[in-house]
């Protein structure tokens, strides 16, 4: 009896002696394994109304409703109250406010190191996926450094040597049949960059090689023109690539590029089909993160586009004029360009709680850095 209570006391003492060094189980798991993988999903031109369209035009609840943390991002650039996608993406990729048109350049037109480049140097694997050309403003801002976004031929050259291990999107025209007669698709081989221009064929992933999929001359086709499940399939293929090197953390950026183009075109059907497609990719990222347990997923936008709203139809009532039918929606646009409205930020996974609140777009970069500094 005496011995057993003595043992019990001993056990208690030794347990409480351990306590100060113990952290919560989740925290311990995260930090013992490796830093969290980062998946940044950017809905280009995706404001709250664009997101809301998925509530009314999708077949099931949007995947973005699965996020526990929501914030708002202020999107102005250093040069304009209304940003473009280049300055918007550079705010995420390099944490700096810059002028509209700048790709991986600061406001003084000098190159700024990007998160993707920093992480690759620390042996992370990196990936970029877009439904635009891979040389377009958003993906380019993670690996290229040029003064103006329209320098897509130069951006393509920079991709040859950039530390991007996996990419998928359009943009063949910037790589072959160029005015300078260089064929970057052939040159890529010298950099162990294997580019497929036919389809998302899976490969036998080799640790020393890099992999690219360029599946359209310019931007990828619209959903309305039969793009199919490219965005989600490419995202899942990136996961299969990363999983092959499971010991390395990864950074993946996935862009629903054409939500923006639907806004510019003031075409509600174009916009909503692109939004629903982007939401599918969000679902694939969340599925992966839920299974993995050590992946941070962030969904945001660079800016809103179109001044888009879902408004009520006006119905003519005989002898009474008209009335608004709050149960029938129609698309309304107030602009053919971007707007200055704040955009949502959603987060899931280790460090996600840091993304609640209202902050500048550059803070998204800073928050990612802060989360990685804890590991």
Distance of closest approach, residue 361 Cβ to Zn ion, in angstroms: 15
CB nearer to Zn ion: pick between 154 and 260: 260
What's the CA gap between 26 and 46, in Å, rounded? 32
What's the CA gap between 170 and 96, in Å, rounded? 27
Coil, helix or strand at residue 192: coil
What's the CA gap between 37 and 283, in Å, rounded? 16
CB nearer to Zn ion: pick between 85 and 176: 85
CB nearer to Zn ion: pick between 152 and 260: 260
Q: What track of x and - describes contact with Zn ion for positions 218 through 257 (by CB under 5 A)?
A: ----------------------------------------
Kindly identify the residues of this chain, within the stretch 306-365, that bind Zn ion according to CB under 5 A.
none
CB nearer to Zn ion: pick between 216 and 305: 305
Taking CB atoms, the residue at the shortest distance from Zn ion is: 260
Kindly identify the residues of this chain, within the stretch 254-273, that bind Zn ion according to CB under 5 A.
260
C-alpha separations of 159 from 55, 70, 111, 164 in Å:
37, 33, 15, 7
Using an 8 Å Cβ cutoff, are 50 and 304 in contact? yes
Please tell me the count of residues contacting Zn ion according to CB under 5 A.
Answer: 1
CB nearer to Zn ion: pick between 117 and 260: 260
Place of tokens 């997101």: 51
Distance of closest approach, residue 263 Cβ to Zn ion, in angstroms: 7
What's the CA gap between 74 and 88, in Å, rounded? 10
As separate numbers, helices (DSSP H) first and strands (DSSP E) second, the chain gives 12, 14
Cα-flanking dihedrals φ and ψ of residue 355, to 5°? -90, 5
Q: What track of x and - describes contact with Zn ion for positions 29 through 68 (by CB under 5 A)?
A: ----------------------------------------
Distance of closest approach, residue 264 Cβ to Zn ion, in angstroms: 6
How large is the angle between the packed helices 48-57 and 268-292, nearest 10 degrees? 90
User: What are the helix (H) ranges across the chain?
Assistant: 2-18, 25-33, 48-57, 85-94, 115-121, 137-140, 152-161, 184-190, 230-243, 259-264, 268-292, 362-373
CB nearer to Zn ion: pick between 255 and 260: 260
Distance of closest approach, residue 103 Cβ to Zn ion, in angstroms: 14
Distance of closest approach, residue 304 Cβ to Zn ion, in angstroms: 10
Distance of closest approach, residue 261 Cβ to Zn ion, in angstroms: 7
CB nearer to Zn ion: pick between 260 and 267: 260
Distance of closest approach, residue 86 Cβ to Zn ion, in angstroms: 10
What's the CA gap between 138 and 300, in Å, rounded? 12
CB nearer to Zn ion: pick between 136 and 354: 136
**DSSP-assigned letters across all residues of 237-286:** HHHHHHHTTTTS-EEEEEEETTHHHHHHTT-HHHHHHHHHHHHHHHHHHH
274 touches Zn ion (CB under 5 A): no
CB nearer to Zn ion: pick between 82 and 345: 82
Distance of closest approach, residue 338 Cβ to Zn ion, in angstroms: 6
Distance of closest approach, residue 280 Cβ to Zn ion, in angstroms: 21
| Chain positions contacting Zn ion, by CB under 5 A | 260
């Amino acid at each position: 009896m005496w011995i057993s209570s003595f043992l019990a006391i001993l056990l208690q003492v030794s347990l409480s002696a351990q306590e100060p060094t113990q952290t919560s189980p989740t925290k311990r798991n995260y930090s013992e394994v490796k830093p969290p993988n980062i998946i940044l999903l950017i809905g280009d031109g995706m404001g709250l109304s664009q997101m809301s369209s998925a509530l009314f035009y999708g077949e099931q609840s949007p995947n973005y409703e699965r996020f526990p943390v929501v914030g708002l991002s202020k999107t102005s650039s250093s040069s304009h109250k209304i940003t473009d996608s280049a300055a918007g993406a550079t705010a995420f990729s390099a944490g700096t406010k810059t002028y509209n048109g700048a790709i991986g350049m600061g406001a003084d037109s000098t190159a700024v190191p990007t998160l993707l480049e920093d992480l690759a140097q620390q042996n992370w694997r990196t990936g970029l996926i877009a439904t635009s050309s891979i040389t377009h403003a958003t993906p380019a801002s993670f690996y290229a450094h040029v003064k103006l976004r329209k320098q897509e031929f130069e951006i393509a050259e920079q991709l040859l040597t950039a530390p991007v291990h996996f990419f998928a999107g359009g943009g063949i025209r910037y790589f072959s049949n160029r005015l300078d007669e260089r064929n970057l698709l052939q040159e890529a081989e010298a950099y162990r960059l294997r580019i497929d221009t036919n389809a998302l064929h899976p490969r036998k992933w080799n640790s020393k090689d890099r992999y690219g999929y360029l599946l359209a001359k310019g931007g990828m086709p619209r959903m309305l023109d039969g793009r199919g499940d490219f965005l989600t399939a490419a995202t899942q293929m990136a996961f299969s690539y990363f999983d092959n090197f499971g010991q390395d953390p990864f950074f993946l950026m996935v862009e629903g590029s054409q939500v923006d183009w639907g806004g510019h075109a003031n075409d509600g059907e174009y916009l909503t089909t692109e939004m629903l497609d982007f939401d599918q990719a969000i679902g694939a990222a969340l599925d992966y993160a839920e299974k993995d347990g050590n992946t941070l997923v962030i969904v945001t936008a660079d800016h809103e586009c179109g001044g888009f709203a879902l408004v009520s139809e006006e119905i003519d009532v005989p002898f009474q004029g008209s009335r608004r039918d709050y149960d029938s929606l129609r698309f309304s646009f107030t602009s053919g360009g971007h707007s200055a409205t704040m955009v949502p930020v959603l987060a899931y996974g280790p460090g996600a709680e840091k993304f609640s609140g209202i902050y500048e777009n550059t803070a998204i970069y800073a928050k990612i850095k802060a989360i990685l500094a804890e590991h």
